[in-house]
Amino acid sequence: MAANTSLEYDQVIAVCKSLFIKKTKDYGTAWRILRPASITDQIFIKAQRIRTLEEKKVSKVGEGVTSEYIGIINYCVMAILQLELGEDEPNELAVDVTEAYYDERVQETKDLMMDKNHDYGEAWRDMRISSLTDLILMKILRVKQIEDNDGQTVASEGIKANYQDMLNYAVFALIKLGVA
């Protein structure tokens, strides 16, 4: 089953990356101006909207949860890049450089998922999508607390690991929704 997970993961990421690159061609890397906390808030907005749609079953905007999970994945990549690139890199990055950064961060996150997936026995396949949403929201609250503590933790994993977990939970949700 792990081989299927790897393939499904790649299929979901291909959809997300395609949109990310198209938007990069349209807007450049304007997101580089965002502070990590602002990206965390964008992820929160998307996850909260998913939860609202899960509970109310009606969308007044016309977009469903799929586009929101895609947004969570892409914002998580942006957040990881912001943490790693810092202010030394220029705000405007070339499309090919941005794509290479995207691929590197997603591969690292996928590798983490595959290791955890091995240890947990693909438990996510038996979870409800709404539980994945709740886990993303919980991780967001953790990140906000770590950000409020100036990035310091006593016994917990850091901000990047939480973004990676959110990204992976969103991929799982999209696999369960049939995007892969």
Range of 125's domain? 2-176
Shortest CA distance to 113 belongs to which of 88, 76, 65? Answer: 76
> What is the C-alpha separation between 72 and 104, in angstroms, rounded?
18
Q: Please give the single-letter amino acid code of residue 152.
A: Q
pLDDT tens, position by position, 94-147: 999 999 999 999 999 999 999 998 888 899 999 999 999 999 999 999 999 999
Shortest CA distance to 45 belongs to which of 145, 136, 124? Answer: 136
| Size (the chain), residues | 180
> How many domains does the chain contain in total?
1
Q: Is the dihedral of CA 27, 33, 36, 42 positive or negative?
A: negative
Structure tokens at 22: 């198209």
> What is the C-alpha separation between 74 and 63, in angstroms, rounded?
17
What is the block-wise mean pLDDT of the chain (180 residues), using blocks of 10 residues?
A: 82 98 97 94 97 83 88 98 86 96 98 91 93 97 93 86 97 94
